[in-house]
Chain A
């Protein structure tokens, strides 16, 4: 392979210094002279008609500058697809989940805004609610929307091959019920923004991982051309999909209140507000039926998914799509049927969250156990190899799954697992998993993704991208790409923060797309600059532009190193000679132009696919039921790591998020009320309960990604839960099919097992 100067190196993050000194400014750190504070009033009912709102008392409170209700938005609705626009900035006719916004206040300070919000009198007519999606689908259940029968928010069906015939020819067919759990993203920075409406339109500094969604929503809501909407991106305190990939009541309210008052308006949600209202991962009940031959070969699968959609559709259709279409990886699946129902309930809204899927992986191993087949063997038997085309036309051109599993098979943790087992108070177990995730995700529409690279006359580089680094480290990787292409160092390149008035459009940070797609755009833009500059060098040396080499901050003619100069000097020649050139390179990503068959679930939802094999070691306390994960080994195929330390960090973070979801985290719900809207009771994992994590890169050099790269930020949140569940089974002999596997569940299951074995 080609040797690179900057790519593939363990380069510190370009934002590291700003982050370790406290200099990095997040949305809540911004303030402006004359700024007002916005507070949103929220519904105490999960389902109710709004009969009347009396704001007169609140208006009389000194310091109150403006109050708005749902009616002030004129019935405007937003949603991911034209036919799913069902969410208002503030509820105007009825509330559909507890803590949905019903009014908002702008006041001189935060305390006054809170006090005023409490003085708003809302008269409700409480309606019966429905909180279980399977109940909500039944005839006669309370309806959230008059026009939506049986509360079906979205249906998605796939049918490839002949599943019934495949089951008929199977040696074993089993159906299991799984439940994925009520979890959320858990970023530490609550949603916040400062909005300003003036003669140039809207300017908003907002905590968004995909600022261009807000840009479009604000233009549509306030009927402004896009050129009058400016979203400026502060540093982002974590995203992980969902809430920061969408707009919020606070965003729309701050903008409207700024328009009304002529002042900048700021809001910061408190953590309880965030955890009560954030867009969560869909809790999915999956009835999964699988067929298998005696030798462990999977013959077919039928999944029936009922997902709790909560009160609005949001990005739900895409989540349902990915849940289905990604089921055909990473194991050979010749026959597949998928029936998914996303159901409205009076729970908070569900949307996308980092990573997808656990059920098929566990079920495969359960069936292998029944057939007496080793967990590793059943995976190797069914694992795909590249090139591969799934039955739903997903094409895989690089795949390191088998290599990953083989690496794990040689580990002492795996080979010596039987010897380490002891029948004492602490049961030891080891589990493995092999999973896949899409890379370079594409949504329907709004794919455009570009880069502009500007040469400064001193040879330094300004790089403009619309892609957001919400913590994953993409800014660093993108800067590395520019530096590599121009023969510079990362210190020569400055990446500007996203500003929709200046930076070129980008789809956002989701579906592991930034390095792949914004990276492709960055590479092309840098090459454009290189080509323009090469002409000046070629003129000077009477050489071919194609023979000009850019390396080590120098420029020279291939084969004659005596004809060389500093990059800076060439920049000056270009910028100062004659009329003076202005060198700007541009490039845009051209991947993702294939049309997806969104209705049938066929085609590529990403430009490539990553493969993650994982080993997890657990200790299960038989008396307390507490599961401690001691070690994880992750063999991850990201094609080629462009910044290996960053890839390790992404894998470690994703795996721990997956672990936390598998073992600890859970929203406790009662009639639509979140009973534990704080991190301690929700049980997000802290450092003493996290394992040692080793990351092994499986290099496959994907033909599509820049420098062979694929996804690196979501794979391990997919591989962690099944490997942990498999390890718990190895320790206890029990399969847990509902996340999280809490100590209570473990103790009860161990008791049950003891009883039945007597």
Chain B
């Protein structure tokens, strides 16, 4: 029988608790975008649809007066959070409730802590992308006949480029997972 690792569950719980604390701190900072913070706090507890969020945040149900305007406000706020990579929802299925992304959970958990906020594209990734582009440039110029590269340079340049290409591939996947 499958048994969940109790340490993992503990870690997830800790992360959730920290994320909740992060949201609370955000509330305390009075940053202005109250609705977004409320939406994040709702999603820390689990996946929710837009209607459920409206109900939790405004106490309005479908058919209540003012529901539509609140719904559209929440939808706009959700879009904004989506564009920031903080929330997302699954691609397929009938019900597509929203959830926090990895990026949002980690960054909420880090609010007020010593650790810095995680960037969507970390500096090391940026360095890898920049390196790959730097190596790609002479290779592309050579392919277009604008530059000549000696064989001695070529045998090192191309493997380095391929290595960085592999690193970039993995990092792009990891970045995608952070906001998926």
Question: Do A and B interact with each other, yes or no?
Answer: no
Which residues does A use to contact B, with CB under 8 Å?
Answer: none
Which residues does B use to contact A, with CB under 8 Å?
Answer: none
